[in-house]
Structure 1
Amino acid sequence: MLKQVLMSRFSLRRLGILHRTFLSDAYSCREAWQARLTTPVLAQVNHDSLYYELEQKLHQKAKVSAIDIDIYANKMVDDSHIEEVADLMHKFRLTEETSNTLDSTHHAIVRNYVEHSHYSELIELLNNRLGYGVFLDDFTSNLTLDRLITTNEFKWAARIVTLLGLQEDFTNPITRSLALYACYRYVKSGEIDHFDDLIPPPPQEPTEGKKKKKDEIKVRVNFIRNEFFDDHFDIKDTKLLLGKTFFLLGLNSEGAVGNSSKLLGLVLYEKYSKAVEFVQTSAGTEINEEVLGLVKTFLGKHEHKDDEHYVKLVDLLGTANFGMKVDGGSFEKLLIDGINRSVEDNEERQIEEQKSIYIQWCELRQHRLEEELARLQRAKRIQEMEKMSREMEQEEQKLWFFENEDKLDLQIDSKKVFYPKRWFGKKKKPRVVDEGYIPPEVRQRQGQQ
């Protein structure tokens, strides 16, 4: 019986149906994660009606609370609302309440996308940080990378790692080891294709016939902003992104793994001057032979003979003894050993952290919902009091109308607006008065006398 089970697992593995994961099944904490659906906040919510309610609020008032978005995101149990949650996050990002987004909202969205294999949509959300504001945490990073690596989706995994590299945070040992392995497997394949979300749109072909002349609108500006390249968020080249990510991973690693990652990263990043400096200052330290061969391959494919630092690096690595000790072991095996070691040392602790934080999120969600309800009730009471005050004032005016008639008349007159008369016709010249003018009748009388 055991032999049949093993043979069936082997056949499934060959067909690609069963995959070995680096993280155990316990790391996903499915029971603790599903427990959120049994809380009073989420158990009584109708997902479809909540979406239309939020959509109506955003359309009419352009404002919705962060707790409502969190409830909608955490209520998702399938991929039927993938487009709706992305649309809500985009609209919610334009409101002032976006700064109050809960961490559980990010976690729920990313986890749902990964569990239902919507990798391209997830990349779109994560890459458009200003438009959606969705970010990975340590747990979703590990779950996402483990899922992509074990399903041989190394291109998507490398793209996730480059997005993590933009945050410059590889302090989590499991994330760091998985990220190194994902990037190396993708780079090892040889040809580095452009990431799908970084491919520029094709140029539009000119239409035949005469084009309609568009009206030009010229806007006066105070100054023209100079072009600026920050060499970080502005990087759109896949090879440069991978290079900088490799270098950052190498800074957080030690030994042959760290040195190999740094050199490979600097070469992909095309920082040849820093690569020469690194090789010269790392004399006596170890570097992996496979990575060294990969570095030489990339240097041969992307020639920059007009760059003196490139030529110096090629000559330096071409010598038999360039100062660093070459390790002949398998670099991939080193990375896998590093993953297993980091998982063994940190998995149990991170599982307990996840379970604890899921409970905290449920408590926080309940607390925020109670605060929101109290705020709405307080605003409703204030509105009712203001309405009652206006009604009492109107009733008072009716009861004391004859006693305050003169006062009311003065108030009405004071509210009248008197506009000065204006003449919009042709202006007449002022009449010139002749001081020596004598009327005709006076002249006749003087003549008779």
Structure 2
Amino acid sequence: MLSGRLSTRLSTRLLYRQSVARRQRRTLLSPAFALTDDWAGRHERMKQLGLGGDYEWIAAVQKKYVGGGTASAIDVDAAIVGADQLDQVDDVRDLVYKLRHTPLAADMFESTPYAIIRLFLKHNCTEQLLACFDDPINYGVFPNEHAACLLMDHFLRADNIQAAAKVASFLMLQEMFDCRLVVHLAALSCAKWAELPAAQQYLNKPAEAVAEETQHGEEDEFVFKVPYLKNIHFDGHFDLKDPAQLVGKSLVWFGRQLLPADLATSAQLLGWTVFGDVDRLHSFLKQNNAKCLRHAVTTAKSLVQSRIEPPAESGAPADATPPPSTPDAEPTPKDDRWQTCLTLLDKVATTTGEETLSSAILQRLNECRADEEEKLMKKQRQLFSTWNEDRKNHLIAQNMRLKHNLRLEEIAQERKQIADESDVMFFFENRTKWEKFGQEDDKIEEKVDVTKAEAKLTDQEYAKILFAGEAKSTKPTRTT
């Protein structure tokens, strides 16, 4: 009887959790927000330009790099935007890498990184995409607002909280705070990451520094990263590498944009606690008087308590005698500041509800989602139209420049041919001129022969000739 009741309760709780999970997945961004049909219309626009198939254009652009050549930014953009298949992912990544290593890297179009993100998301190439984010210098993949929302929505739906938080921290480094939809999704990703167990609080690791092989004609050139001495200055922003610091600062900065005040305060409180800077946390607690979510305060207390009393090492008994203090031990004033923060946390006013920070942010996201989606969809449709028009104009201009250069080469060849024919036709009339040219050529040849002969002489032979010439030119002085 008792076991039946327990199984019923467990099944009820499991069904409840599953329903909550499904509801949270459904309450993210709507399917129409992806603008799948609008994005697919680019293929028709490219066919109108007569660019051929996507494979043909990628192969044509790759040929331009063979032999040390370069492709223009519009060539790479057209190739990447037209790519749509899984086997083109590596080609796309290789093309943008090569473009970033040419003087034309600054000319990269905004549609290029957007197309890369859409292609990688379509085929679920998460590791390759995050590797591009980890290496912005070599790839230059920076998402715009619409692409950023697609990224976080994709990872949150897939329950890949680490990847979503990674994207949110990347957006924090770029300071993308103008779009409310981006702010709420980024704050939601960071809050979910902060609520994970400690063993799961990590971000996707940067890609390993592997050798990149590029083929130029018959020779193989290996491009690889060279270790160098870094600047000892730490800017506290782009130099952040620790996952807790990245997510913590992201939660603070995105939390400042949230409404109402208790939600913003809770996000900043949890963010500074996750970040682990006791001075900033202490300053925030001293200056803040707004209410916070009860769950956020409880989580912050547990994190601060873990700073004061770190967990015992595995295998050691809980009541083991602590080791004697050493000169290298952490100073006690820092522990005192953490203890002060814990005391201040006890005085923070809290709300009556037990909802988590991520649940509260998700609720606010659902309230503003429809209006914000419509604004961003309208903006992105305008960008699609602008990108298509710019791509068309740049391709036409590039084609005209190519024809112009070919025509100039043809004119130069025709002028040379006419000059040669004129020299033949008027050879006898210009006989004196050609003889003068011949005499000058003979003098040049004589000088070359003398130089070659002197080069073959030894130092002693050259000195004898030199002094003999000076003796002949010197006249004896007449004495009186």
**TM-score of the superposition, structure 2-length normalised?**
0.76
Letter in 2 for 1:70: D
- CA 1:281/1:386 → structure 2, altered by over 3 Å: closer, same or farther? same
- CA 1:340/1:65 → structure 2, altered by over 3 Å: closer, same or farther? same
Instruction: Confirm or deny that 1:26 pairs with 2:50.
Output: no
Local SS of the residue matching 1:287: coil
CA separation in 2, counterparts of 1:394 and 1:410?
Answer: 18
Who is 2:418 aligned against?
A: 392
Instruction: Confirm or deny that 1:267 pairs with 2:292.
Output: no
Letter in 2 for 1:153: N
Who is 2:460 aligned against?
A: 427
Who is 1:245 aligned against?
A: 250
- Percent identity between matched residues is 21
Q: Which runs of 5+ in 1 are unaligned?
A: 1-9, 202-223, 433-449
CA separation in 2, counterparts of 1:57 and 1:385?
Answer: 25
Local SS of the residue matching 2:280: helix
Who is 1:87 aligned against?
A: 94
CA separation in 2, counterparts of 1:285 and 1:295?
Answer: 16
Deviations 1:310-339 (A, max 9, x none): 5324323335753x3212431233111111
CA separation in 2, counterparts of 1:117 and 1:37?
Answer: 21
Who is 1:366 aligned against?
A: 392
Who is 1:295 aligned against?
A: 300
- CA 1:410/1:340 → structure 2, altered by over 3 Å: closer, same or farther? farther
Deviations 1:128-152 (A, max 9, x none): 1111111100001111111111221
Instruction: Please say which of residues 55-64 and 122-131 is displaced more in the overlay.
Output: 55-64
Kept in 1, the 8 Å contact 2:61–2:79? The answer is no
Q: Which of 129, 132, 144 matches 1:137?
A: 144
Letter in 2 for 1:258: A
CA separation in 2, counterparts of 1:376 and 1:200?
Answer: 40
Local SS of the residue matching 2:460: coil
Instruction: Confirm or deny that 1:63 pairs with 2:53.
Output: no
Q: How many residue pairs are counted as aligned between the two chains?
A: 398
Local SS of the residue matching 1:136: coil
CA separation in 2, counterparts of 1:371 and 1:105?
Answer: 19
Local SS of the residue matching 1:230: coil
Instruction: Please say which of residues 125-134 and 60-69 is displaced more in the overlay.
Output: 60-69
Who is 2:367 aligned against?
A: 341
Who is 1:256 aligned against?
A: 262
Who is 1:209 aligned against?
A: none
Q: Which of 222, 231, 235 matches 2:240?
A: 235
1:263 offset after TM fit, Å?
A: 2.1
- CA 1:321/1:182 → structure 2, altered by over 3 Å: closer, same or farther? closer
Q: Which runs of 5+ in 2 are unaligned?
A: 1-14, 210-228, 311-329, 469-480
Who is 1:47 aligned against?
A: 54
Local SS of the residue matching 2:303: helix
Q: Which of 198, 204, 220 matches 1:196?
A: 204
> Aligned-residue CA RMSD in angstroms?
2.9
1:196 offset after TM fit, Å?
A: 3.1
- CA 1:256/1:410 → structure 2, altered by over 3 Å: closer, same or farther? farther
Aligned 1:173-184 pairs, distance under 5 A: 173-184=180-191
Who is 2:323 aligned against?
A: none
Who is 2:340 aligned against?
A: 315
Deviations 1:246-281 (A, max 9, x none): 121123234122212222222222321121111111
Letter in 2 for 1:137: N
Local SS of the residue matching 1:197: coil
Q: Which of 281, 286, 289 matches 2:291?
A: 286
Kept in 2, the 8 Å contact 1:287–1:325? The answer is yes
